[in-house]
Each structure stands twice: as C-alpha cells, then as structure tokens.
Structure 1
C-alpha cells in the first residue's frame, strides 16, 4: 500500500489505515480493510488491526539524506529497522508518546562492493518492521525519500494465513518466524494475514484473499484454533473447503500449500485429544485430495517439526521449531514455483 497521506513511503502488508485511538493524529496500520474485518469474529477483527510483518519502507534520495519517521503504539512496543536484508543490532522501542526516528543509510552499506550478494532487498531500502504484539501508528514522514522501486524488492510475494504460529508467536522476533524464513529461503516478500487464536477459516477472509492479485504463492496452516475452540471436524471441513477452494479457483495458476496441524499437546499430553487432532489432519488432506484444483498441495505439519521443538506450552514452536517449519515449507514451495 502507498497511502496518499504518505506518498514518499510504501506501507507493506498494510491494507488501510485508521485513526489510532491512543493518540491524537496517528494512522493505525491495519492488515485487512475494516469492511472485511467487520465480517470476522471479534478476536480476528482485532488481530488484523495489529501490524504483524507490516513495514514502513522508503529509499532516501541520496546517501546523505536523513529521514524522520514518527511512530507510536498504545503501550511499549518494539520494531526493527532493516536496511534491505541487513539486520539491526537491536530493536527500537516506541510507546504512547510519538517517537521520531532519524534514519539514514549506514556508512558501511554505502560502500559495499557491487559484487556483494545483498539478498532479496536493495540495501538502500529502509524497512521499519513491526512485531505482532501491539498496534502501531504512523504520524509523519519528513525528508527526501521515495517508495522502493520494483527492482529493489523481491519480484514475488508469499501470502500466509494461519494461527498465532503463522503470526510468529513465541519466536524471539518477527524475522525469526517460519513465514519470514520461508520468504528469505525462497527469495519472496511476505504478506502475513494470520490471526492469533482466531483463524476460523471465515468466508469473508477467503473472499478477500481470492480478490487480491498481489501475491504469487500461498500457505494456509489450518487450523488448531478451530480444534481448540470446539469446532467439529465436519464444521472444519465445511469452512476449510470453502476457504481453500475459493482462493484456488480464483488463482488457478498460483501454488497454494495447505499445512495440517503441527504436533501439539493434543498429540502428546494425557489431557489432549489425539483423535480430534488426527481427524482435523484427515479432513484437510481430504479437502485437498478432493479438490479439482491442481495448484493445491498438502504438507503434513507433523513432518515439519517434532514436539521437542515446541515451547513450554507444547503448542507454539520455539525458534528452532520455526526454523524447521520454514526450511521444510521452503523446500516444498520450491518444487511448486516455476
């Protein structure tokens, strides 16, 4: 998104902005339009107003230009300023009082040899990347800068939908989530539409993804949230079938990988319900097998990581688990991408 209010930057993984209710003049970064969010469950409606994997991107007009970007959040929050693929030493902190960052091309990146492999992004693309935990607002951008050009960015986009695992919960930072790892491994630009605790495969979101034409490959990790919320396997089948096939029908040329439930406490804890977990995996497998769309493929979540790679809640992968998922999914997608 390139908002008319901020013509000198690109708002990545931002569908629209809305007034921020914690500050007088900030524009809250929202991943999904309100017109879509209004048709989602209450928790998902709020989650898509969080800036998971959202970024403010710009390129200074010259290496000597300093760009001032003013941000806020309703409570203490972290963001990271990448230059291209080059990671900062530490996160920055923002909070309710608007904070102005002064950003310029780092000295050593100005003098990189042209033969250096700089990764997916041009190193002069500044990327202010937000975490999933807290809403964020943009207030102002000052200085001589412009939105990144297409040849300064990855030429293909990866859209991910799923639960808090897909949002990157329990990863030490957003760039260590499995979605970020898949994007990095495959040379893609990530668009993350996951909904922590509320990924219920809702038709409104399926229709929205189907209507979007700004992505090239997708993964749908479906959906431990529905299992934990008590949706029956038949209810899951109805929603998953609509979600998967609606998107596949609209984009028959784009690879879509459906990921069954990762290992979690239902499989390994005495109080878990392994039968429900198995039924959910079987349902998604049959949805893909019965689909008329050959751009769909299935990945078994149990093949991507082991229970030992989960965090103490025996639900969310730790950093090692995120790495295993990202590497395995990337290998699968590479077989599907031209």
Structure 2
C-alpha cells in the first residue's frame, strides 16, 4: 500500500490507516479496511487493526539518511531488517513519537554478490512490526523510494488463521510459521490471522476473495471455533462458505486448508478429543466435497507434535512454528510444483 502522505515508502500488509487514538498526529496501520472490520466479530474487528505481518518498506538513495517517526500506545519493539538481514537488536518505541534514522549499512552497500542474500534485495529496509500493540506512522523524511517489484519476492502467500497464524507465542514476528513458509518458498507474506476470533466469517472470506495480490494461500480453520460455543454443524457450514467464497473467486490459485493443530483438547483429562476430531473431520469433508481442483488438505496434526507447543498446550513455540513452516512449505511446493 502506498499513501499520498508517504509517497516514498510502501506499507506492506496494511490496507488502511486511521488517526491513532493515542496521538492523532499519527496514522494507525490497519490490516483490513474498517468497512470490512465492521462486519466481523468484536474481537476480530480489533485484531485486524493491529499490524501483524506489517512492514514499512523503503530503499534509501546512496548515502542518504531516512527518518521514520513511529509511536505505539504502549512500549513495543520494531525490527529494521535490510532485505533478509536481521538487525543486531530490536528498537523500542512507545506512546511518545520516536524518530528513527536509517541508512544502508556500509557492508551491505558494498556487497558484490546476489546469491545467498535472500528473497529481498538487501538495500530494502523493512521495518517489521509485532502483532501487538497497534502502531502509528507519523512522518517520513529523507531521500528514499518504495521498493521496485524486482527487489521483492515475485509471489505472495496469504495466510488466514488464529493467534497461531499471528504468531502469538513466537519469540518475535519473524519466527512465526507464516514467515517460515515465506522464507522456505521464497514468498512475500500477507498475514490475516485473528487471535481468539478466527470465526471463518463471510466478510473476511469476501475480503480475501476480493484481493488479487496473492498467489497461494493457507486457511487454518479454526481452534477458536472449537474452543467457543460453535456446534460442529455450524463450524462446517461456515468453513464451507468460507472456502467456497475464496476458491471460486480464485480457481487457479492453490489453497491449502489446514485442520486443527494438536492441542490440549486431544491430550488432557478436561479436554474433548472427540470434539477436536469432529472439527478436523468437518474440514476434511468440506475439501473432499468441494468442486474445486485448487483445494488441498493439510492435517494440522501432521505438522508438529506436542513438544512443539508452549506450556499452555495450545500455541506453538519457536520450535513448533518452525516445524509448521517447514511442513506447510513442503506442501505448498508440492502443489505449486
């Protein structure tokens, strides 16, 4: 996304900006337009106003210093990558707008090779934003431009799911499974995870279906509904509508539907393994019955084992995120091969 107010940068995984509630001089970065968010459940409506998978991208001119002013309603961190090159440490921002200065690091500006430098041109500065809290952009100054298409991956991967898709328990935004898939397959990533609120709603399906800027997708459906008061029948109906809406709009784009990952319901005394399995079976049936050849199924239980989860026996930790990313990456390469 490029805004008239900030013509020299690209706002990745950002669909809209609104005035920041904590400082109206800043533009809050939102993943989904407000008109779409208004049709989602209350929690999802707020989640899509957070910058999961969001990046501020730009390429400084040779020797130029670029200043980016950011704020957040509470202390958080941003991570300025140069292409695929990770920063030494994250940078803190908070409620008081902070101006950060960027110039291409000397050694990266002197690179004489392109092999092994990753899916992004190393001159592209990518300010990676965490899933919480919200973030606002206030100002951009300095001689820079948005990245050119040849400086970015040539294919985009769209992911829908729960807090697991958002990377809730990952140690940083770049260690979630969506990022691992993108790295493994050479994709750019669009993250539409909705923590605690991935209810396979029609408005989200229609929004994803309306977008033409992705090439392959995974739809992880949905432990949030299994943990809420949805019946298996209601879940299946929603999954059917969700998948049908997206697949029919993009009949040539591979779409992988992912069943519930292993979690506490499968293995604890207070859990309900039969219910968890019924939710998995519903996704299997939807994919099997669908008339679309671009759909495939991935069993979430095949992607990681219990040791990949955190102590809540629900959210994958870093090892689990990597396992999911590796498994999904292999599947996507097979179906796009």
Matches within 5 A, 1:35-54: 35-54=35-54
* Deviation readout 1:76-110 (Å, 9 max, x if unpaired): 01110000000001111100000000000011101
Paired residue for 1:25? Answer: 25
Aligned: 1:263 with 2:262: yes
For structure 2, which runs of at least 5 residues remain unmatched after alignment? none
Q: Which runs of 4+ in 1 moved over 3 A?
A: none
Alignment of 1:1-338 (within 5 A): 1-62=1-62, 64-338=63-337
**Partner secondary structure for residue 51 of structure 1:** coil
Q: Please, what is the CA RMSD of the aligned residues?
A: 0.7
Q: Name the CA distance, whole Å, in 2 between partners of 1:176 and 1:213.
A: 26
Whole-angstrom CA distance in 2 between matches of 1:115 and 1:213: 29
Measured after TM superposition, the shift of residue 265 of structure 1 is 0.2
Instruction: Measure, in 1, the Cα distance between the counterparts of 2:215 and 2:307.
Output: 33
Once residues 5 and 258 of structure 1 are traced to their aligned partners in structure 2, the CA distance between those partners, rounded to angstroms, is 38
1:218-246, CA deviations, whole angstroms, 9 ceiling, x for partnerless residues?
00000000010120110001100000111
Counterpart-to-counterpart distance in 1, 2:130 and 2:243: 27
Q: Which runs of 5+ in 1 are unaligned?
A: none
Of residues 105-114 and 126-135 in structure 1, the stretch that sits farther from structure 2 once superposed is 105-114
CA distance in 2, matches of 1:231, 1:80: 38
By how many angstroms is 1:115 displaced? 4.6
Deviation for aligned residue 1:24: 2.9
Q: Distance in 1 between matches of 2:219 and 2:321?
A: 16
SS in 2 for 1:25: strand
What's the CA shift string for 1:119-142, capped at 9, x where partnerless?
Answer: 100000000000002000000000
CA distance in 2, matches of 1:176, 1:115: 24
Query: SS where residue 193 of structure 1 aligns?
Result: strand
